[in-house]
Structure 1
């Protein structure tokens, strides 16, 4: 059972073989949230390509009147790719926060959320 689980985790790019960075985008208006999440995912895809999954709504897609969209990124376990990715993600989020589109939105990155 253990061996099967570990093989599946490796083939589907999940920990402990890969690292996951989850980015939650939140806004009170679902239409604005959709545009914000699509923009952010598009900017991330320019740098990371098919490593970007989403945006998609989590199972609980609204908390305290904020709608949520999640964007997931998967990286190899070696530390250099994750360190570079964190810098790029920080730059993309900072750039996003300087646009008019980001008004009223919240972006929360989470490294290794599970």
Structure 2
């Protein structure tokens, strides 16, 4: 006799922390990658963690780094150059989703702080005679 135990989608993907602060220099090169929070889902197969979504924004995307039999780690990917003088802070939300039916998901907030580099020359406001 063989007994097969089938997993049901009874666990939600969860981040180890609900908030993360990421500091990025404004001269970071597009395609730079920044590790985010580890995510776990106790389910297996299609009911386990399947992917990530990032809140809509103009500068970042999310990608996944993983190895077999290890947790999946989302990475923040810089898509477009940053300018701290234009926008110094980004508020993002990353969502982890599983493949169950119905789909379960967990979220974490990401605060991206753009760090200044010396990229602007001084400008005088008054002329001298």
TM-score, with structure 2 as normaliser: 0.35
Computing the radius of gyration over CA atoms, which structure comes out larger, 1 or 2?
A: 2
TM-score, with structure 1 as normaliser: 0.38
Hey, which of these two has a bigger chunk of strand by percent?
2
Hey, which of these two has a bigger chunk of helix by percent?
1
Structure with more contact order per residue of length (Cα contacts < 8 Å, sep ≥ 6): 1
